[in-house]
Amino acid sequence: MGSTQTRRTKVAVIGSGNIGTDLMIKILRLSDSLDITAMAGIDASSDGLARARRLKVATTHAGVEGLLALDEFADVEIVFDATSAGAHRRHEEALRPLGRTLIDLTPAALGPYVVPPVNGTDQLGAPNVNMVTCGGQATIPIVAAVSSVTPVHYGEIVASLSSRSAGPGTRANIDEFTETTSSAVEQVGGAALGKAIIVLNPAEPPLMMRDTVHCLVSDCATESVAAAVEEMVARVQSYVPGYRLKQQVQFDRVAQDDPLCSLLADSEKGKGALKLSVFLEVEGAAHYLPAFAGNLDIMTSAALRTAERMAAHRIAERSRR
């Protein structure tokens, strides 16, 4: 893993649970531009902190206050928050005045949403960016692909996760998950109206993450829409190899008296409408958790891609000064 840069950007992770630990391992294994120097948690016996210590990453179980007290924190430029929406608000209050950039993996959404293949270069200088949710990272690129071809009057996403891949943070933030994802379907995906549903599937053996995207659109060239979706899937696969279409994009004509037509813009009513459905599967890279935990993999992969872009932007900005 030879670095092409003389200096890596120092980063830290808050949260020693599933997401934070997977992110730490991804940085160590995959990144040529980031150097993880610290992990903070609140459970001294957590597996994440134990692994961090074995990997020579500085640790603290005193939360954000402990992170600030570490000698290694002085050089940290970017902090990933993999805790909870409520905790992130406290972390921002502590870190923003110190000039650190925050990448928020909770549904707190204090900063602008970032979905790498859609708007990944739009917020490189923002002090706090939000990675939406795992369901948002998997489905919003599809909504954006459709809206690049034809207006999306209504976008609905259903994220089905293995119950075993949903830790206490995810379970505590179900309401925030749906609210944040619905908002990002509109703001980033481009849908006039968005809705998000999460399903925790208790099946054994655990199932891979499955995501369904439904869009209501006016009559349009279906070949162009399908091509845009397939191109977007390839873009996501560049950083999440286990992301894939389960079948071809499905199109169904909507009758004019169907209640769905009430969601069309007034100017589009009576012109014909289509409901399109996209079925996705996300297999995780199994860096820390089993492959069925694709929901965690796509979230941490998106955060890693975002941080690397931010690091490259910082280096370019410094070189111009």
What lies within 8 Å, CB to CB, of 186 at 6+ separation is 155, 192, 193, 194
CATH H superfamily, domain 9-131+297-320: NAD(P)-binding Rossmann-like Domain (3.40.50.720)
Cα distance between residue 291 and residue 65, in whole Å: 34
* 116 belongs to an annotated ligand binding site: no
Cα distance between residue 289 and residue 22, in whole Å: 7
Per-residue pLDDT at 2 exceeds 60: no
pTM: 0.94
Overall average pLDDT of the 180-197 stretch: 97
Distance between first and last Cα of the chain: 29
- What is the model's pLDDT at position 171? 84
* 19 belongs to an annotated ligand binding site: yes
Which residue in the block uniquely carries the two structure tokens 């939000």?
Answer: 130
- What is the model's pLDDT at position 272? 83
**Token output for 248:** 């071809």
CATH topology of domain 134-293: Dihydrodipicolinate Reductase; domain 2 (3.30.360)
Residues known to be catalytic: 134
Cα distance between residue 152 and residue 146, in whole Å: 7
Annotate 246-297 with DSSP letters as a single string.
Answer: SSPPEEEEEPTTSGGGGGS-GGGTTS-EEEEEEEEEE----SSS-TT-HHHH
Which residue in the block uniquely carries the two structure tokens 């873009």?
Answer: 235
Give the confidence band of 202 by pLDDT, cuts at 50, 70, 90: very high
Each domain of the chain, given as residue ranges in start order, spans: 9-131+297-320, 134-293
Angle subtended at Cα 180 by Cα 307 and Cα 293, rounded to the nearest 5 degrees? 65
* 166 belongs to an annotated ligand binding site: yes
* 27 belongs to an annotated ligand binding site: no
- Tens digit of pLDDT for each residue in 263-308? 988 878 878 899 999 999 999 999 998 999 999 999 999 999 999 9
Give the confidence band of 6 by pLDDT, cuts at 50, 70, 90: low
